[in-house]
Amino acid sequence: MPRQARRLSKYGFLHIITRGVGRQILFEERCDYIYYLKKLKKYSEEMGIEVHAYCLMSNHVHLLIRDRENEVSLFMKKMGVSYSAYYNKKYDRVGHLFQSRYISEAIESEKYFFTVFRYILNNPKKAGICAAKDYEWSSYSEYFENNNSIVQIKIIRDTMGNKKNFELFIDESNTNDIADKSMGRDHTDRKTQKLVQMLLGVQSGTELQSYSKRQRDYALRLLKSKGITVREIERITGINRGVVQRA
C-alpha cells in the first residue's frame, strides 16, 4: 500500500516527532545532545527552516518548525543521515538509527501553535524527569536570554512580553493535550540504561550489537534474569525483539 501523503500547513508550521528505531536510545552522553543541536542549527539555517521549539528526549525528538518552501523532508533526511553516521561510528554499530518515517502534524491556528509549543517544552515534566525550566536539552532557556539561539524568538517574545509571563504560560495545563506514547517511558529507560551499564560493564547498551552470538545471548539472558523486560532491552540495545526473546 502506498504511503499516505503528508498533510502540509498553509502557514508552514509543523510539529515533527522523530524516534529511534525500535524506540532505541538516541542520546547516550552530553556530547550526543550537543552534536544533534549543532546540526539542527546548521541545517535549519542553510535551508531556511525556522525552528520555534525543540526538545531532545532520550529516544525521540520534538521540533516545532516553520517550513515556507516545503523543504522539511530534505531537512529531516540531512539531520538523520548526519546524526546516524556520527552515532554509528561512535558506538560501533551499523544500520538505521531512526524510524524510517518521522511524524509530522500540520498546525493551522495560532491557538494550536501555542498548544504544541507548550506541549513540547513540557515533555520532561510529563516524563517525570524534571520541571520544564530545569531540562537542559530543550529550547526553554533560549527565548529570554541573550545567547546564540537556535530558535526563532520573535513570536514568543512578542506574545509573552516578558520571562515571567512565559514561565506562567508553560506551567499552565494544555486543555487540548497531545498524545505521545513514548513520553512516559523516558524516565524508566534512563534507569534501565544505568542498570545495563552496571550489569554488563558497558558504556552503552548498543555495544551488545558487536558481541558474538554467544556473548550477546548470554548478556541478554542476564538482563532478562534481572527483571528487565524484552521491550526495554530492545529499546536500550537496539537488538530486535525476536532475537531478545529467543536468547
Is 193 within a domain?
A: yes
Q: What is the block-wise mean pLDDT of the chain (247 residues), using blocks of 10 residues? A: 55 92 88 97 96 95 95 95 94 86 90 94 92 95 82 92 93 60 54 82 80 86 86 80 80
CATH code of residue 49: 3.30.70.1290
Residues 6+ positions from 18 with CB-CB distance below 8 Å: 60, 61, 63, 76, 79, 80, 98, 99, 102, 103
DSSP assignment of 32-94: HHHHHHHHHHHHHHHHTPEEEEEEE-SSEEEEEEE-TTS-HHHHHHHHHHHHHHHHHHHTT--
pLDDT at 133: 94
Residues 6+ positions from 100 with CB-CB distance below 8 Å: 21
228 and 126 share a domain?
A: no
Is 1 within a domain?
A: no
pLDDT tens, residue by residue, 66-114: 999 899 999 999 999 999 999 999 988 888 899 878 999 999 999 999 9
160 and 54 share a domain?
A: yes
pLDDT at 197: 82
Sheet of 50-56: strand order equals 50-56, 60-66, 13-19, 103-106
pLDDT at 235: 77
C-alpha cell of residue 166: 512565559
Is 31 within a domain?
A: yes
Do the Cβ atoms of 147 and 140 come closer than 8 Å?
no
24 and 94 share a domain?
A: yes
C-alpha cell of residue 10: 498553509
* Coil, helix or strand at residue 13: strand
Which domain range does residue 223 map to?
185-246
pTM beyond 0.75, yes or no: no
Q: Report helix angle 230-237 to 213-225, nearest 10.
A: 130
The closest alpha carbon to 132, from 236, 20, 143, belongs to 143
129 and 201 share a domain?
A: no
Is 5 within a domain?
A: no
- Give, in degrees to the nearest 5, the angle at Cα 70 between 68 and 24: 110
What total of structural domains would you count in the chain?
A: 2
pLDDT at 238: 77
Distance CA 126, CA 132 (A): 9
36 and 80 share a domain?
A: yes
